[in-house]
Structure 1
Amino acid sequence: MIRRVALLCLALLLPLVAAGQARAAGYRYWSFWDRDGSAWTYATQGPSTARPSDGAVQGFRFAVSEDSGDADQPRGAADFGAICAHTPRQDGTKRVALVIDFGTPADAPAGEKPPGAARTACARVPEDATTAEALATVAKPLRYDTNALLCAIAGYPRRGCGEQVSDKATGAPSAAPATRNDGGGPSVGLIAGGAAVVALGAAAVWQARRRRA
């Protein structure tokens, strides 16, 4: 009896695990980052509203990611002094160091490939300029969708904008992104489902032993 219950629990749990893995999909998009000292932090504003100060370092990375917790960071040098070494300060303007990482071939849309390695640029713009305005001075053409989402930098990619992609591990069509717990582990739904199955199994085992007694 106990063996039968264990097999039943396993049969119920496997679909939950598979569902959790199927939801481990992502979106292909340009993520936006701020440089905080020696580390990148995911930006809390979009480039069209962020207004960096003189000396800021900001980055963009094209990749497939599930959420901000697992997003790939920009690669390459990210030092303001080095990037803007030949761009002196001028009254009424500010300098923003930008790191633009086109990502890897694995994350590129079908039929496209990254136009090169990560590049850096120093944008000199008016003091009240946004990051989007700074980016436009050094990496045209930019492309946005109707919701003002940044779709392409320097013309890459040619098509698409934040589209959901197939699961990277299996190639299966992706579902809605899973809700992750604070530790970035399995989805909350998967944990709850597994706990329910274990609880049912424990109850069945207890009843079986009670009948024997």
Structure 2
Amino acid sequence: MTVRRAVPVLVAGALLFGSAGQAGATGYRYWSFWERTGGHWAYATQGPASVRPDDGSVQGFRFAVSADSADASRPRGTADFSTVCAGTPAKSGTKRVGLVLDFGTASDAPSGEAPPTSRTACARVSPDATTADALAAVAKPLRYDTDALLCAIAGYPRKGCGEQASAGGGSASEGGNASDGGPSLGLPIGVGVVAALAGAAVWRAKRRRDDSG
């Protein structure tokens, strides 16, 4: 009985692993979020609504098709705070956050859309503001889905949110949503959880057989 209950979990895990392989071959079209550290871009481990950057920080966003965080394309162009915020002097009671907005390439764009020219912006915001607050100050309109996933910056793209995309840049099925983090983390984490559950189910079944024997 216990063994039979473990089998569906294993099957689900196998199915999700298969889906993950397909997703890796295609990828998802989404805005990835980056933090500038030590002169290099690092993929953010939290979503823009959770990060509260210090004055003088530089944050980046890149729209592209990628399979996961390891495969994600970094923002391109100028990323030096002194350059990005050269025209925005310090002001008491506020902080400045440099933003690099890379709208990606034509091959990453949804069908019928063309990426705007990439740009930088310097947001002057309150000391406790998040990256999402800074983004809202300089790059409206923003668009989020019901899971708080960032779908569009400065109105781009006009529609879609984390949809699966083929190698040729076309859209496939919708998917990959992850609250406040990015779709790149959604599927791999789901697979990991199911794999862990499957392993635990097998372990429990074996233990019970041993105990009963």
Deviations 1:122-151 (A, max 9, x none): 000000001011001111100000011000
Contact in 1 for aligned 2:101/2:120 (Cα 8 Å): yes
Does the residue aligned with 1:163 lie in a helix, a strand or coil?
A: coil
Contact in 1 for aligned 2:66/2:72 (Cα 8 Å): yes
CA distance in 2, matches of 1:170, 1:81: 36
Question: Given the alignment of the two structures, is residue 26 of structure 1 paired with residue 27 of structure 2, yes or no?
Answer: yes
Deviation at 1:121, TM superposition (A): 0.6
CA distance in 2, matches of 1:107, 1:81: 30
User: Percentage identity across aligned positions?
Assistant: 69
Structure showing greater Rg = 1
Deviations 1:39-58 (A, max 9, x none): 10000110111100000000
Question: Given the alignment of the two structures, is residue 152 of structure 1 paired with residue 160 of structure 2, yes or no?
Answer: no
Does the residue aligned with 2:25 lie in a helix, a strand or coil?
A: coil
Q: Kindly tell me the number of residue pairs found equivalent between the two proteins.
A: 162
Aligned AA (2:47): G
Within a 5 Å distance, the mapping from 1:116-135 to structure 2 comes to 116=117, 118-135=118-135
Contact in 2 for aligned 1:35/1:56 (Cα 8 Å): yes
Deviations 1:88-133 (A, max 9, x none): 11111100000000000000001101012x2001000000001011
* Structure 2 gap segments, 5+ residues each: 1-19, 177-183, 189-213
The residue that corresponds to 2:211 in the other structure is none
Return structure 1 stretches of 4+ with deviation > 6 angstroms: 174-179
**TM norm structure 2:** 0.69
**TM norm structure 1:** 0.69
Within a 5 Å distance, the mapping from 1:50-199 to structure 2 comes to 50-116=51-117, 118-166=118-166, 168=167
* Structure 1 gap segments, 5+ residues each: 1-18, 180-213
Contact in 1 for aligned 2:110/2:169 (Cα 8 Å): no
Aligned AA (2:51): A
Deviations 1:52-102 (A, max 9, x none): 000000000000000000100000000001111121111111000000000
| Alignment RMSD | 2.8
Which structure has the highest helix share of the two?
Answer: 2
Q: 1:22 to 1:120 in 2, by over 3 A?
A: closer
CA distance in 2, matches of 1:149, 1:170: 21
